[in-house]
Every structure is written in structure tokens, then in C-alpha cells.
Amino acid sequence: MKSFRRLVYPYLVWAGLLIVLPMLIIVFYAFSTQGNDVIPVKMTLENFVRFFTDPIFIEVLGRSLKLALITTLICILIGYPAAYFIAQLNADSQSVMVLMVTLPQLINMLVRTYAWRGILLNTSFSPEVKVYIGMVYNFLPYMILQIYTSLSKMDPSLVPAAHDLGCDDRTAFLKVTLPLSVPGIISGITLVFLPAVSSFFIPKLLGGGSYVLVGNLIENYFVTTGDWNFGSAISLIMTIVILLSMYFTKKFDYDKEAV
């Protein structure tokens, strides 16, 4: 067993170089600012104070959370019926439908977003609606596949057994199917909400620059203005938001399993 542990070492080196080290650099920049000729770097909380005291940044954060939340809810409302429909088909039809869902994912997300930009270019939709369309289109397959996986793992005899015990279709769905599909819903929420809240190129391409989210702020301060300190602070705030979101979704999932 000890010999197999050595196989983990390359991954640890890779994770250290590409995950841990960049995060440490972001933390350093977030808690520092440019000093003077004597002290080139000054440790400070100024970047965080600037973010939380400026109502514009708070508004952008709220807009990002709202966008991610509504996108997730729409994906659940569309994805659950679609996944349920696929799970009721025979094995061959399920394979075909899963392929149809995953096939667009083989194309780069940026290319797909550019395609929607052309489709929506001459429409009367507001920039916000265009962004929602792009978000739902890009992240909906993740929700469908996660819920479908949970539904396909269900024992097919459970629903007939519920009918034998006197349940109608609605009660059997609410008491058997829905609770057993909660892990898939939780996984889908994680895979949709987290990338949606930090997305930057979908709002940039479909919103025409008039629908700014936190991801766009981070890109702007790193690429355009060159203020890496403030950009790192925003990135660290979003990292904390994402970690808290993951904690609460996982906690909800554990509570369901305990019940």
C-alpha cells in the first residue's frame, strides 16, 4: 500500500504549483498595496474596505448572486422534467438522449456563446435577458445530467410498491422519486451556481458591456487597469462566497441523507 502512495506525489506537486501557489499569490496581493521607495509593499485591508464601502461594487455583487440564483432555478425547472423524461425511456433511447444533451458540450463554451450573440443580435431582448439565455443554455446540461444520474440509479420497483401501498402518481413522486433525486439536484446546483456566479465572458459578449458582474470586475482590474491588488481582493471575496455556497449545499445534502 505504501508503494501506491508514491503515485500521489505528482498530483501533489501539480496541485501545489497550479492551485495552492496561485491562491497564496492572490491572498498576498489582496492584503497588500503599493507602498513607496522605502517600503515597496504595504500590508493593509484597504482593498476590502474599498469594496464593501462602495455601493457600486455591492450592487455588482448582488447582481451576480441574483443572476446565478435565477439561472440555477431556471435550470432546475427545465432540467428536472427533462431528466425525468429521459430516465423513463428504454436503455437505448436513454443513451441517445444523453448524447443529444452532451453533444453541444463538445463545442467550446466561448464558441457557443458567440453563436448566441449572433442569434440574439437583432432581437429586442434586453441585455439582462440575453445574459440569462446564454447562462441557462451553457449550464443546463450539467443540471440535466446530474438529476438523470440520480433518477437512473433508483430501484424501478419502488414506485410500483408505493402504488401498491395506496399512493397515487403525485404522492409517489413527492414521497419516493423526488427525495431520492435530491443528491442529483444538489450536485446540479453546485455545477450551475458556482460557475454562473463568477462567469465573465457570457455577460461581456451577450450583455454588450452594459451588464457588469463580479467576473467582469475581476477581469477589468487584472487586464485593463492593472490593479492586481484590488482585483485579487475581489477574487478572494468571490472565493469565500463560492466556498460558503459549497458548504451550505453539502450540508443540506448531508442533512437529507441523515433523515
User: Which grid cell is 119?
Assistant: 442569434
Task: Name the band, by pLDDT with cuts 50, 70 and 90, for residue 35.
Answer: low
Hey, which CATH number is domain 56-225+238-258, 3.30.1490.390, 3.40.30.10, 3.40.50.620, 1.10.3720.10? Answer: 1.10.3720.10
87-136 per-position pLDDT tens digit: 988 888 999 999 999 998 888 888 999 999 989 988 888 888 999 999 99
Return the pLDDT at 259: 45
Give residue 154's pLDDT. 86
- The structure's pTM equals 0.84
Residue-wise pLDDT tens digits, 67-88? 999 999 999 999 999 999 999 8
Position 167 scores a pLDDT of: 82
Is residue 5's pLDDT more than 80? no
**For residue 102, is it left (φ>0), alpha (ψ between -120 and 50) or beta?**
alpha
Q: State pLDDT tens for residues 138-171.
A: 999 999 999 999 998 888 888 888 887 788 888 8
Which of 29-38, 81-90, 115-124, 200-209 is predicted least confidently?
29-38
DSSP codes joined into one string, 161-200? HHHHTT--HHHHIIIIIHHHTHHHHHHHHHHHHHHHHH--
In this predicted model, what pLDDT tens digit does every residue of 210-245 receive, in sequence order?
A: 778 888 888 888 888 888 889 999 999 988 888 888
In this prediction, residue 73 carries a pLDDT of 96
Q: Residue 213 has what pLDDT? A: 85
Domain limits of the chain? Answer: 56-225+238-258
